[in-house]
Amino acid sequence: MLWFRGRHIPIAIFIVILVLSLTLPYSDILVAQEAVLKIGMPDEIDSFNPFTSLFAAAGYVWGTLYDTLIYISANGTYIPWLAESYSIDERNLIITFKLRPNAYWHDGTPITAEDVEFTFNLVLASNYSDKLDKWGLRKYIEYVKAVDAKTVEFKLKEPYAPALFYIGAIIYPLPKHIWSKVDPLTFKNLENPVGSGPFKFAKYTSGVSIELVVNDKYYRGRPKIDKIVVVLYKSTDALMLDLMAGNIDAMTAVTVAPELVPTLLRDPNIRVVELTHSASLRWIGFNLDKYPFSIREFREAIAYTVDKQAIVNTVLLGYGYPAADGWIQPLFGGWYNPSVTYRKQNLTKAKEILDKLGFVDRDGDGIRETPNGTKLSFSILTISGRAEFERSAELIAGWLSKVGIEAKIEAQSLGTVDEREGRGNFDIGFMGMGMSRTTEIDYYIYERFHSLQAPPIGEYAGRNWFRYRNPEMDQLLEQQRRTLDPEKRREIVWKIQEIVARDLPALTLYMKTSLVAYRTDKYVGWIESEGPTSKLSVLSLSLKGPQVVTVVTQIIQTVPITQIREVTQVVGGTTMIMTQTQIVTGTVTTAPPGGIPTETVVAIVVLIVVLVAVAFLAMRRR
């Protein structure tokens, strides 16, 4: 052992390091790349307050920051989420939720049943209830009670068909230790939202971006994405250019412009997906508290001037279909009343209705006047930066001019449009919303058409901003909520559609196909059926990187492999690539689990022990 004296010890250490570097898998010493997911969406953010926020873009952010008790998947499955389980006692009208034991708020405070009780009592039994209870839940929920730290109980006053939907999937439990100190009506929650979801708030730069970082202690397991950057855009054109350039990975709260589909499909790194479970409804709402929009026949005359199919053909390039006049659309399957279709353009009939109302052109300038001499000259309020909205509004204005109604286009920011429509400062308002067939049908009709949601002009109305008031409608809306028999409830919902189509408080225009796009060159795990940027999809994403493998030995295995099969389909006159997944059996060559055979690991350990022992003895002999 004389060769291993003091000066040789560094050589021994070098040998150990060399042996380890040659035997450990190269992938084990790679520095992990930060997974930053960039999502583009419109720049309008009203707040991150789940109670009061209305904009879809803001909703996507706070929907990522917070979790509901239940998550509804695209196929309509109710998945226990923040709650690990729930039970329904139909006899006693009690719904009980068990919260997950390992759930924490982003500031480290445990999530308890007391938080849930507090949140719902803000809606049901507080000084803010008149404003917060936009769903009318106080009529149906007797109390909410924290039974213990992780159990919360809801007691209903009477049968209430959409109870599980509103309680479990719409209202987001909020941290009591924060929200008990603020006014939930005015609190914007923009500076440091503390939520329960898979990502935590990091930074909001107004008009630029929102940065979210991963929640390492997420109760469903740490997501593989380290950070989400939501990039805000003033126009959809700029958003799409950045997607094509690779500056963002996906888009949300907006759909692909139909004219861009062929261009996107030519890029092998971009997928264009049609979300078959959803679509976007577009409509014009009339200010029913203003003359002559308060006259049903006048609204019907306007309806006969509009060529819905022409908008679908020219603006959407076929990616959609004319909307039924009764608000609920064929997308909803059995909830849709097939006898309620839509009024096709009939300019002659529109003129006849206007003539009967006494609205005629008295001075020969091409614009009709009311009996008191007021010209039929109005504005169509629409959202700027949305080519689809502006083009549609221009077509409508052109058709109106053919029957003697002058319409001017006012294109303003989403925030301005929302505020003006909400407070009744408009004539005709162009607006849209996403619809999903898995959403409880009451969500689309109660707030929109109940007179309780129609305050006087000047007070803000979130949904029923056309201010439609009809006692018959109110009665039917309440009745369908109390009806648990699906068939009887369907009959009531069908009747509601007939009344909406008759009264026309708003004129539905078209259902736009939900086309979204994302890039495939950076991440894998996108769930197209749920929507690429849905919570389930984002939680399944991981970086797509080069695979470095050290082959020590090979094992031939027969394993199931999920393959993506491309299907070419013509949609709206343009060829689109759709996907189907299938499981096949194939033979693959893999390395053993861990990358190194057990024998090699043992040999390394023995070598290290021997060298360390020799070095120790050599040092002692010195």
Cα distance between residue 194 and residue 215, in whole Å: 11
The class of domain 81-174 in CATH terms is: alpha beta
- Summarize pLDDT for 301-353 with one digit per residue, the tens: 999 999 999 999 999 999 999 999 999 999 999 999 999 999 999 999 999 99
Token duo for residue 564 = 């993506």
- Summarize pLDDT for 151-162 with one digit per residue, the tens: 999 999 999 999
Quick one: pLDDT at residue 27? 40
Quick one: pLDDT at residue 20? 47
Reference 25, options 552, 544, 557, 546; nearest CA is 552
Does 469 score more than 50 pLDDT?
yes
Q: What band does 595 get if pLDDT is binned at 50, 70 and 90?
A: very low
Quick one: pLDDT at residue 1? 41
Does 597 score more than 90 pLDDT?
no
Spatial contact of 433 and 421, defined as CB atoms under 8 Å apart: no
Phi, psi of 240 (to 5 degrees): -65, -35
Quick one: pLDDT at residue 593? 37
Quick one: pLDDT at residue 43? 75
- Summarize pLDDT for 5-60 with one digit per residue, the tens: 445 555 555 444 444 444 444 444 445 689 999 999 987 899 999 999 988 889 99
CB neighbours (10 Å) of residue 587?
9
Kindly tell me the burial class for residue 332, based on how many C-beta atoms sit within 10 Å of its own C-beta (0-12, 13-18, 19 or more). Answer: middle
Quick one: pLDDT at residue 564? 30
Token duo for residue 406 = 């002058």
Does 519 score more than 90 pLDDT?
yes
Phi, psi of 437 (to 5 degrees): -70, -10
Average pLDDT of the chain to the nearest whole number? 87
DSSP lists the bridge partners of residue 567 as 578
Spatial contact of 92 and 189, defined as CB atoms under 8 Å apart: no
Reference 543, options 27, 26, 36; nearest CA is 36
Cα distance between residue 45 and residue 59, in whole Å: 9
Quick one: pLDDT at residue 607? 56
Token duo for residue 153 = 């109980």
Quick one: pLDDT at residue 567? 33
Does 394 score more than 80 pLDDT?
yes
Q: Is 136 helix (H, G, I), strand (E, B) or coil?
A: coil
Q: Please give the single-letter amino acid code of residue 87.
A: S
**% of the chain exceeding 90 in pLDDT:** 78
Omega within 30 of 0 (cis) for the link into 292:
yes
- Summarize pLDDT for 542-589 with one digit per residue, the tens: 999 754 333 333 333 333 322 333 333 333 333 232 333 332 333 333
Instruction: Give me the CATH topology for the region 276-514.
Output: Dipeptide-binding Protein; domain 3 (3.10.105)
Minimum mean pLDDT range among 53-62, 105-114, 397-406, 490-499: 53-62
Write down the number of H helices and E strands in the chain: 18, 21
Cα distance between residue 330 and residue 309, in whole Å: 16
Phi, psi of 447 (to 5 degrees): -65, -30
Spatial contact of 65 and 199, defined as CB atoms under 8 Å apart: yes
51 phi-psi bin (left φ>0, alpha ψ -120 to 50, beta other):
alpha
Minimum mean pLDDT range among 93-107, 109-123, 465-479, 534-548: 534-548
Domain ranges of the chain: 81-174, 276-514
Mean pLDDT over residues 209-231, rounded? 97
Cα distance between residue 215 and residue 476, in whole Å: 44
Quick one: pLDDT at residue 57? 83
Label each residue of 283-307 as H, E or C.
EEEECCCCCCCCCHHHHHHHHHHCC
* Long-range contacts of residues 7-13, Cβ cutoff 8 Å, at least 24 apart: 8/618, 9/615, 9/618, 9/619, 12/611, 12/614, 12/615, 13/615
What are the helix (H) ranges across 157-270? 163-164, 176-179, 236-245, 261-265
Q: Kindly write down the DSSP assignment for every residue of 189-209, as one continuous string.
A: --S----SSSEEEEEEETTTE
List all residues 6 or more positions away from 445 whose beta carbon is below 8 Å from its beta carbon. Answer: 327, 328, 477, 493, 496
- Summarize pLDDT for 154-188 with one digit per residue, the tens: 999 999 999 999 999 999 999 999 999 999 999 99
